[in-house]
Amino acid sequence: MSYAIPAPVVPSLPIIGSDQRFPVRRIFCIGRNYAEHAREMGATVDKDTPLFFCKPADAVVTDGADVPYPQATADLHHEVEMVVALSAGGRDIPADQALARVWGYGVGLDLTRRDLQAVAKAKSHPWDVAKAFDHSAPVSALRPASEARLDGDTALTLIINGEQRQHGRLGDMVHGVAEIIAILSTLFELKAGDLIFTGTPAGVSALKRGDQFHAELAGVATLEGRVA
Ligand code: MN
């Protein structure tokens, strides 16, 4: 068998303390998972109907690469989020078995073309053009779960040009990691290599060309980069 065109490269993330890389299969994201952020967007949390969307695997930006300012927007927003990487998947995973499928954790930016999202919301269109564009998912190196200490007080922080823009704690998530995996697995058969962006705390705002970002999941992972 040979391909008619060159096969796409498998996107991957670096791993803290290893030369191996984590291959990315799909990127799932949950929206409105911190009540304060839902409020700042003029939305409310609907706990019974979580909001999910996807980004393509090759939207990841890794290894400190610049994020090119995307086309078709004048309002690029940052959303700092904990990123969960799966080593196994399945359908209808019970919440109490979900964390055993987590390979590791990192921190990422769910970059959003906020102006296009506002149009999509107004017209009841899907969010793909607002969320799933090229280079829309900068992600840090991953920390293996066995080495990651996380609890409700673990802080998620985003600093732009030395100034803190977002700060939250994991305990403020509406749906925790195990619950997100359990719910997602009722909608999709999850697989090894899938990433999950777990939602953003309040404080989202615009990024400009030249902005330097520093995102941190305290004690676990750090992401540095620049909008070019
Ligand atoms: Mn988000």
Sign of CA pseudo-dihedral 210, 139, 43, 166: negative
What spacing in Å lies between the alpha carbon of 146 and ligand 1's midpoint?
26
Confidence (pLDDT) at 126: 98
What spacing in Å lies between the alpha carbon of 171 and ligand 1's midpoint?
17
Burial, 164: exposed, middle or buried (Cβ in 10 Å; 0-12, 13-18, 19+)? Answer: exposed
Confidence (pLDDT) at 92: 98
What spacing in Å lies between the alpha carbon of 101 and ligand 1's midpoint?
22
What spacing in Å lies between the alpha carbon of 53 and ligand 1's midpoint?
9
Task: Give the full edge-to-edge strand order of the sheet including 143-144.
Answer: 51-55, 27-31, 195-197, 80-86, 102-109, 143-144
Q: Are 88 and 189 in contact (CB under 8 A)?
A: no
3-state class (DSSP) for residue 98: helix
The residue type at 24: V
CATH 3.40.50.300 holds for 23-226: no
Confidence (pLDDT) at 184: 98
What spacing in Å lies between the alpha carbon of 78 and ligand 1's midpoint?
9
- Output the tens digit of pLDDT for each of the chain's 228 residues: 999 999 999 999 999 999 999 999 999 999 999 999 999 999 999 999 999 999 999 999 999 999 999 999 999 999 999 999 999 999 999 999 999 999 999 999 999 999 999 999 999 999 999 999 999 999 999 999 999 999 999 999 999 999 999 999 999 999 999 999 999 999 999 999 999 999 999 999 999 999 999 999 999 999 999 999
What spacing in Å lies between the alpha carbon of 149 and ligand 1's midpoint?
23
What spacing in Å lies between the alpha carbon of 81 and ligand 1's midpoint?
7
Q: Are 60 and 22 in contact (CB under 8 A)?
A: no
What spacing in Å lies between the alpha carbon of 79 and ligand 1's midpoint?
5
- pLDDT tens-digit map of 113-151: 999 999 999 999 999 999 999 999 999 999 999 999 999
What spacing in Å lies between the alpha carbon of 7 and ligand 1's midpoint?
30
Confidence (pLDDT) at 142: 98
Taking the C-alpha atoms of 61, 64, 68 and 74 in order, what is their torsion angle to the nearest 10 degrees?
90
What spacing in Å lies between the alpha carbon of 33 and ligand 1's midpoint?
8
